[in-house]
Structure 1
């Protein structure tokens, strides 16, 4: 094909900034249409980018017959829209997370496999140069045998006031763990080659979202009496080869830092990686020793438009017939852990993890 004909479903902030605009920078892509349930937004974006616009995404698919689409709807709708579009034989890049729960994710992955279409999950953070350095250090044996991973992604005050994240139907019925905890898992598991989890223990907390006095400190406003999601979660995961992982994620907490801070570690018997940033790792250091000295290595990293590299990788997967770097099966691993943390929190005990066959 000369150009890949692309549509974008959901053109709010992320849809416009992380998908639509990057597509316009690729010479082998033609953006043919956008769709959004907000008619005014659909019309404004359509006119701005000189493409057709729709409020019904299936009407867009049927009339425009795109080769591929980006799906950037609220989380609770990701799986349904992705399955609808894949069923029409269209390649899909769906914003993270792939679904609200493991069952949804498995359903979408199986649909993509049955239709023989590319399914890529929009973890733009995977294209971080710092994370790529970490992956290279792992592959070169500089870390040695990993045994512990740690991930922390916490906001001092950052409960999102938008109904997209607070409404149970739109959010998928889950809070901070699903919304930003998936970043922790994707970043760390990409360094660990997506090891299979065996057991999980976790806990979830709602300590800020129901307090009316907290609204003014956070992002936007919401009705505290109707806040039903967790604003903090922790998890301990054991993997099949003895590696352990600890994660800590929160929309709000009484911590020292202002704003959102991400800390990522992988410890091995030869070296250790420590990353800093937010959802994306923006800096990474390697810590090890020579025969006589301890040393720290910090790579020189260039500036990369991670969103542009994400959509480029998606288009390359289509045109070159190769597997995308962020696959549906990887999300099966991620969501098996997320579901298990919620289950463990509900039961108050450790749970075993079973990875569904695809």
Structure 2
């Protein structure tokens, strides 16, 4: 079988630690081109993977024969570059949040349909072993009625992870559009939708309280009401000065279900009758050193292309998760609950 030719646009940390090594590890893939506005970074990356280097994504799209493009750029470029790549005949894997507005997301979905290409958004929470297991248990009705939930994603901020540190685009409102809520919160919006159903209404407080010299948000607390009436909270933060939190707790009729809330057991179920079930499953991905578990995102995307399958996180799914975050921003701005 002929290898799938991949181009990666943006050679920052998410490309360096996720997309590129995971494409390189997939036997069905050949990385043929990389692009970054910083020529040196593009060259070094290209040398490592035996690819062509570019500083202009349009030049890459117009001169190299690619089947797939990964868009690993600042948020404001997600939509225009994804749309250009789709019109150039590529399947596209775009980092999250997929866009900076509902309209942009719709335009991306339209471009994918027009060109009969797959558009997938890089939400990796759905692939976490504990999340997949609980999804099946919920579907089987093992926990009875879901009463409430809380989900959190917090760490010390992207300066410790981004290739550009504190000078990173993450802190520039023009390029980022949104801070912790878009960087971390959108992952949890996607997870809650995946596990528990669609979000109907959002209330939120969104603040910049920990980071200096920036106007992007670094702390957000949201109240979500789902279509089925369940209420819960979603927290996103860049202000955890020690450790991080990527946990979700679901309170149900038959049990309290703790996901990624314990360093050893990624799933702990406290049943109403006093029994406790503990599961040691594949660990959730972290950005810490030594935390380089696979995200499963790349392999899933390539499999979808090869077997003409609909991926787990389509453009439509990415847009619905983005809409939750956009509603949170609107709620904070207007001081009222926002219906989606």
User: Per-residue displacement from partner, 1:12-50 (whole Å, max 9, x unpaired)?
Assistant: 221022011111111111111111111001111111211
Q: Out of 217, 232, 238, which is 1:245 matched to? A: 232
What is the CA distance between 1:140 and its match in structure 2? 2.4
Between 300-309 and 24-33, report the one with greater CA deviation: 300-309
Equivalent residue number for residue 190 of structure 1: 194
Aligned to 1:296: 276
Matched position secondary structure for 2:170:
helix
Task: Please give the per-residue CA displacement for 1:251-289, whole angstroms capped at 9, x wherever unaligned.
Answer: 116xxx7132122112222233211269xx981222224
1:159–1:209 Cα contact (<8 Å) kept: no
**Where do 5+ consecutive residues of structure 2 fail to align?**
160-165, 285-291
**2:268 is matched with which residue?**
285
Report the Cα offset of residue 103 of structure 1: 2.4
1:318 corresponds in structure 2 to: 305
Contact kept, 8 Å, 2:207 with 2:219, in 1: the verdict is yes
For normalisation by structure 2, the TM-score amounts to 0.89
Higher relative contact order (CA 8 A, sep 6+): 1
Structure 1: any 5+ residue segments left out of the alignment?
Answer: 211-223, 354-358
Report the equivalent of 1:176. Answer: 180
Matched with 2:13 is 13
How far is the alpha carbon of 1:110 from its aligned partner?
2.2
CA distance in 1, matches of 2:315, 2:232: 22
- Which residue of structure 2 lines up, in the alignment, with residue 233 of structure 1? 220
The residue correspondences of 1:200-239 to structure 2 (distance < 5 A) are 200-210=202-212, 224=213, 227-239=214-226
Whether the aligned pair in 1 keeps the contact of 2:31 and 2:50 (CA below 8 Å) is no
Contact 1:130 1:282 in 2 (8 A): no
Could you tell me how far apart the structure 2 residues matched to 1:136 and 1:306 are?
A: 22
Decide whether aligned partners of structure 1 residues 95 and 306 sit closer, same or farther in structure 2, where only a CA change above 3 A counts.
farther
Task: Report SS of the residue matched to 2:97.
Answer: coil
Q: Distance in 2 between matches of 1:187 and 1:196?
A: 10
Is the contact made by 1:163 and 1:170 (CA closer than 8 Å) also made in structure 2? Answer: no
Q: CA deviation at 1:58?
A: 1.8
User: Does structure 1 retain, via aligned residues, the 8 Å contact 2:265–2:279?
Assistant: no
State whether residues 158 and 259 of structure 1, in contact with CA within 8 Å, keep that contact through their aligned partners in structure 2.
no
RMSD: 2.2
Out of 308, 324, 333, the residue aligned to residue 337 of structure 1 is: 324
Q: Contact 1:273/1:286 (CA < 8 Å) preserved in 2?
A: yes
Contact 2:189 2:321 survives alignment (8 Å): yes
1:148 is paired with a residue whose SS is strand
Q: In structure 1, what is the equivalent of residue 170 of structure 2?
A: 165
Alignment of 1:1-358 (within 5 A): 2-155=2-155, 157-158=156-157, 160=159, 161-171=166-176, 173-192=177-196, 195-210=197-212, 224=213, 227-252=214-239, 258-276=242-260, 283-289=266-272, 293-302=273-282, 307=294, 309-353=296-340
Query: TM-score normalised to the size of structure 1?
Result: 0.85
